[in-house]
């Protein structure tokens, strides 16, 4: 088969640059009018030829005929690398990549790049080019146009700056709102405001002032030193002053210069004379329609704020106003709660000889930070000490009020000398009679100063803990009853245990050991571990350590009361040789308890040989006082040393409030009573009856040889 004949190849016109004579007549004037230059890059010879306008756009006028950059008859030219060296390094990479891709594909390309002129000015240039092939279809030339885009660069920079400022301001508003929302107190709001970095308009001074008693008073300031204290303090609301005007009109006042300040507010100008600030923005703080203060933003140079800047500052003023109003309300509530709690709790723990004590109260972490937990230490008529820990249901103002009444009542019952069971029963009846709908848990303990015996009663409360002399700690179980106010007729059993010198008794409320995430058993074990330790430690430091380890301390939803009591042992001879006890009229079982204490005291005082006699005779006097009167009786036992005669004298006194004196009788053989005074007279070394105010005092003495 004969080969198919090929069509004849048409001759290709030689390549001519766009500025050659073949160009239309209108092209050159059009390019000149629009500032467009042309160029031709000989790819194989790596020779870039530009017309005069292109050289000017590229900053290469020195290569033109006027600059003497080329020999006669030779067009000025540069290589591709020389051209790329003129570009910004970041842009040179982009231009190279696009040109190489266009050459490879015999296509076209365009780019926007920055170039630095020999004078150091930054310019922007746009170019558009197309690759032309030779007769063999290989890339030979790239021709195109170039024009100055510096105006576009400036516009883009301004747009970028504006976008950046808007982004910064949006971020600032978000961060400021977050910081102000987390500010709890007025001091927190003042700190946050005076540390704000305003974007785009960094101020030289910031002032936060509040309206108090008709005057604008500075709360906090930054950007002012000792020599330039703010001249805007204690300004009356009706004054001719920009801050006062802003508050009265609820409208910001902007002053761009000292001249404007002087012209608009001549009456307030004098304090500003010589002041380094030259521009101000007074922003009223209005919350719920009520003016509460002023924000002041100042500058060291004249500064006319534009619309966006004023909008930003006005928005900031609104946020500060809401935060400040909330913080002031919090401060007022906190001060009210703290003041009420200070009044309801003991102002101080009275010192008791032979004891060291420490107390702590931690309010709940939420709400008004006030509650129904309380503690108390009560010196008793016997010379001993009563300790109380209690918790009224709830942690609000109502619970705190009930707590205050109950604390005072329980303290009064204890101070009258009633035994622990009677103190608790009367307190329960008192709370029930208040009819508040609240109940309370409580633990009351009477601690014997002489030899560390504790008589404790518990009404639905936590058991106490005891830290022994070896540093170990354990829960001391106490027989319990119902919470106070639930059943006013219920009695409370007494649990007796002892303390050795140096041992510590811990009483607390359930907020210390129980939370939403920690149950009671786990909390008690955690408290026991914290409480255990070396004996002799400072009780204040120990109380702080226990309080710091409180369960769920960061989000505590219950208040905490804590009381530590350490028995140091008998404080002196008087305390060691004296015992006082009140016996209630309806508490005859107390007589057996007092007899046991008298026997223990006699043994500890070194007159154990008198214990049987003193127990019998004291029981007779107490019974006589209770049977023949309708009031309580008070027993006092004292030991006196008589070094001259070489013996010790034990004196027992029983006081009552009856004016009826005892009569000595001679009972018959079958009589069931009447022998008490006969026994006292027969077995004591001395006895008698003395008047005591509205009542009397019966006494007897027993002598023991040293």
Among 37-46, 274-283, 327-336, 450-459, name the one with the lowest average pLDDT.
327-336
The answer to whether residue 134 is domain-embedded is yes
pLDDT at 136: 85
**70-119 pLDDT, tens per residue?**
555 566 788 888 888 888 888 888 889 999 998 889 899 988 888 877 77
pLDDT band at 9 (very low <50, low <70, confident <90, very high): very low
> What pLDDT, on the 0 to 100 scale, is given for residue 671?
40
Kindly give, in sequence order, each residue whose CB lies less than 8 Å from that of residue 18, ignoring residues fewer than 6 positions away. 27, 38, 40, 143, 144, 145
Q: What is the CATH number for 628?
A: 3.30.565.10
- What is the structure's pLDDT at 12? 43
501 SS3 class: coil
CATH of the domain at 401: 3.60.40.10
Which two three-digit tokens encode residue 313?
Answer: 């500052």
pTM given for the model: 0.51
Distance CA 649, CA 212 (A): 72
Closest CA to 143 of 156, 159, 129, 155: 129
Q: Are residues 358 and 322 in the same domain?
A: no
Contact between 487 and 428 under an 8 Å Cβ cutoff? The reply is yes
Q: How many domains does the chain have?
A: 4
Three-class secondary structure of residue 291 per DSSP: strand
Q: Give tens-digit pLDDT for 524-577.
A: 888 888 888 766 668 888 888 888 876 545 455 677 889 999 888 765 544 457
CA angle 477-478-482, nearest 5°?
Answer: 130
DSSP labels, 27-91: HHHHHHHTTEEEEEEETTTTEEEE-HHHHHHHT-GGGSGGGT-S-TT---EE-HHHHHHTB-HHH
In a domain, 676, yes or no: yes
Q: Kindly report the CATH number assigned to the domain that includes residue 101.
A: 3.30.450.20
Tell me, yes or no, whether 153 lies in a domain: no
Angle between helices 186-194 and 150-182 (to 10 degrees): 160
The residue with greater pLDDT, 561 or 164, is: 561
Sheet holding 139-148, edge to edge: 77-78, 47-50, 36-42, 139-148, 122-133, 108-116
Contact 478, 457 (CB under 8 A): yes
Residue 8 has what pLDDT? 45
How, if at all, do strands 480-481 and 453-459 pair? parallel
100 and 35 belong to one structural domain: yes
Q: How sure is the predictor about 417, in pLDDT bands with cuts at 50, 70 and 90?
A: confident
What's the token pair of residue 647? 């013996």
Rounded distance between C-alpha atoms, residue 418 and residue 463, angstroms: 22
16 falls within a domain: no
Token pair listed for 78? 């540069």
Token digits for 598?
């008298």
**Residue 426: per-residue pLDDT:** 92
Q: Which two tokens stand for residue 451?
A: 């030899």
Out of 335, 360, 394, a domain closes at 335
Same domain, 588 and 676: yes
CA 321/CA 180 separation, integer angstroms:
10
In-domain check, residue 341: no
Three-state DSSP at 62 gives helix
Whether residue 138 sits in one domain with residue 267: no
**Cα distances (Å, whole numbers) of residue 275 to 218, 227, 242:** 17, 9, 16
Instruction: In whole angstroms, give the CA distance from residue 112 to residue 95.
Output: 8
pLDDT at residue 388 greater than cutoff 90: yes
Same domain, 207 and 317: yes
Is there a domain that residue 3 lies in? no
Phi, psi at residue 318, to the nearest 5°?
Answer: -65, -40
264: phi > 0 → left, psi -120 to 50 → alpha, else beta; which? Answer: alpha
Q: Which residue has the tokens 């001879």?
A: 573
Q: 479 and 595: one domain?
A: no
Burial class of residue 388 (count of CB atoms within 10 Å of its CB; 0-12, 13-18, 19+): buried
Query: Would you state the pLDDT for residue 2?
Result: 44
- The residue from 118, 148, 178 where one domain ends is 148
DSSP letter for each residue of 445-467: EEE-TTT-EEEEEEEBPPPPEEE
Instruction: Calculate mean pLDDT across residues 28-53.
Output: 85
Distance from the Cα of residue 175 to its chain's centroid: 20
Q: Cβ contacts of residue 484 below 8 Å, gap of 6+?
A: 390, 406, 424, 427, 428, 431, 439, 440, 441, 442, 459, 460
Among residues 87, 113, 148, the one where a domain terminates is 148
What phi and psi, each to the nearest 5 degrees, are found at residue 175?
A: -70, -40
Q: Is the pLDDT of residue 127 over 80?
A: yes
Is there a single domain that holds both residue 49 and residue 198? Answer: no
Reading across the β-sheet that carries 504-508, which strands appear in turn? 355-362, 560-567, 504-508, 465-467, 473-475
Q: What is the pLDDT of residues 581-617, one digit of tens each?
A: 778 776 767 788 888 888 888 887 888 888 889 898 9
Same domain flag for 248 and 211: yes
- Please say if the pLDDT value at position 652 is more than 70: yes
The token pair at 358 is 């420490």
CA distances from 323 to 189, 315, 645, 657 (A): 7, 13, 82, 64
Inside any domain, residue 207: yes
Check residue 576 and give its pLDDT: 54
The three-class DSSP label of residue 537 is coil
End-to-end CA distance of the chain: 156
Indicate which CATH number applies to the domain containing 191.
3.30.450.40
> Would you say residue 12 lies in a domain?
no
- Are 38 and 76 members of one domain? yes
Same domain? 237 vs 312: yes
Band (pLDDT 50/70/90 cuts) for residue 153 is confident
Choose from 243-252, 450-459, 585-594, 651-660 the range with maximum mean pLDDT.
243-252
Average pLDDT (640-646) is: 73
Summary mean pLDDT of the chain? 81
Domain that holds residue 395: 346-567
Is there a single domain that holds both residue 81 and residue 220? no
* Better-predicted residue by pLDDT, 477 or 558: 477
Cβ atoms of residues 216 and 244 within 8 Å:
yes
In angstroms, the Cα distances linking 550 to 413, 430, 642 are: 32, 32, 54
Q: Is the pLDDT of residue 482 over 90?
A: yes
505 with 585, same domain: the answer is: no
């Amino acid at each position: 088969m004969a080969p198919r004949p090929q069509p004849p190849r048409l001759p290709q016109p030689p390549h001519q640059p766009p500025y050659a004579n073949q160009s239309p007549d209108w092209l050159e004037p059009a390019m000149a009018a629009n500032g467009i230059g042309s160029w031709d890059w000989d790819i194989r010879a790596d020779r870039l030829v530009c017309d005069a306008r292109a050289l000017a756009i590229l900053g290469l006028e020195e290569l033109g005929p006027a600059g003497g950059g080329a020999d006669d008859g030779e067009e000025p030219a540069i290589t591709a690398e020389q051209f790329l060296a003129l570009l910004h390094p970041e842009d040179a990479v982009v231009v190279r990549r696009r040109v190489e891709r266009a050459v490879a594909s015999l296509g076209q390309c365009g780019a926007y790049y920055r170039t630095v002129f020999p004078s150091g000015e930054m310019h922007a240039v746009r170019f558009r080019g197309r690759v032309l092939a030779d007769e063999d279809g290989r890339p030979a030339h790239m021709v195109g146009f170039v024009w100055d885009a510096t105006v576009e660069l400036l516009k883009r920079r301004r747009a970028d700056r504006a976008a950046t400022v808007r982004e910064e301001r949006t971020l600032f508003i978000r961060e400021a709102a977050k910081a102000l929302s987390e500010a709890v107190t007025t001091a927190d709001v003042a700190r946050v405001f005076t540390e704000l970095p305003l974007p785009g308009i960094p101020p030289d001074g910031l002032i936060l002032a509040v309206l108090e008693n008709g005057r604008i008073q500075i709360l906090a300031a930054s950007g002012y030193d000792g020599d330039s204290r703010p001249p805007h303090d204690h300004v009356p609301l009706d004054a001719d002053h920009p801050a006062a005007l802003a508050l009265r009109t609820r409208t910001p006042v902007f002053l761009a210069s000292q001249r404007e300040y002087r012209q608009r507010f001549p009456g307030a100008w004098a304090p500003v004379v010589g002041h380094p600030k030259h521009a101000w923005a007074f922003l009223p703080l209005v919350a719920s329609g009520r003016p509460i203060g002023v924000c002041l933003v100042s500058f060291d140079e004249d500064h006319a704020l534009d619309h966006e800047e004023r909008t930003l500052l006005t928005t900031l003023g609104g946020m500060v106003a809401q935060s400040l109003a909330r913080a002031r309300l919090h401060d007022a509530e906190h001060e009210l709660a703290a003041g009420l709690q200070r009044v309801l709790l003991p102002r101080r723990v009275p010192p008791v000889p032979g004891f060291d004590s420490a107390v702590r109260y931690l309010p709940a972490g939420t709400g008004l930070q006030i509650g129904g937990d309380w503690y108390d230490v009560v010196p008793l008529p016997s010379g001993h000490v009563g300790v109380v820990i209690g918790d009224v249901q709830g942690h609000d103002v109502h619970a705190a009020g009930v707590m205050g009444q109950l604390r005072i009542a329980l303290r009064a019952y204890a101070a009258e000398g009633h035994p622990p069971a009677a103190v608790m029963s009367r307190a329960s009846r008192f709370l029930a009679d208040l009819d508040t709908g609240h109940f309370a848990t409580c633990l009351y303990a009477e601690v014997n100063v002489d030899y560390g015996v504790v008589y404790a009663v518990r009404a639905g409360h936590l058991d106490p803990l005891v830290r022994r002399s070896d540093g170990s700690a354990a829960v001391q179980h106490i027989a319990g009853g119902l919470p106070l106010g639930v059943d006013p007729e219920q009695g409370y059993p007494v649990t007796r245990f002892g303390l050795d010198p140096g041992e510590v008794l811990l009483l607390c409320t359930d907020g210390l050991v129980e939370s939403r995430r920690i149950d009671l058993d786990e909390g008690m074990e955690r408290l026991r571990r914290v409480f255990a330790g070396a004996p002799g430690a400072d009780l204040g430091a120990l109380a702080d350590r226990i309080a710091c380890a409180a369960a769920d301390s960061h989000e505590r939803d219950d208040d905490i009361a804590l009381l530590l009591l350490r028995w140091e042992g008998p404080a002196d001879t008087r305390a060691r040789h004296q015992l006082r006890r009140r016996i209630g009229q309806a508490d005859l079982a107390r007589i057996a308890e007092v007899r046991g204490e008298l026997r223990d005291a006699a043994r500890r005082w070194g007159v154990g040989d008198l214990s049987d006699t003193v127990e019998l005779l004291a029981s007779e006097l107490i019974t006589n006082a209770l049977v023949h009167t309708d009031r309580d009786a008070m027993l006092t036992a004292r030991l006196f040393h008589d070094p001259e005669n070489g013996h010790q004298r034990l004196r027992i006194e029983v006081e009552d409030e009856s004016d009826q004196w005892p009569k000595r009788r001679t009972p018959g053989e079958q009589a069931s009573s009447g022998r008490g005074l006969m026994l006292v007279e027969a077995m004591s070394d001395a006895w008698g009856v003395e008047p005591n105010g509205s009542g009397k005092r019966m006494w007897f003495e027993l002598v023991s040889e040293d």
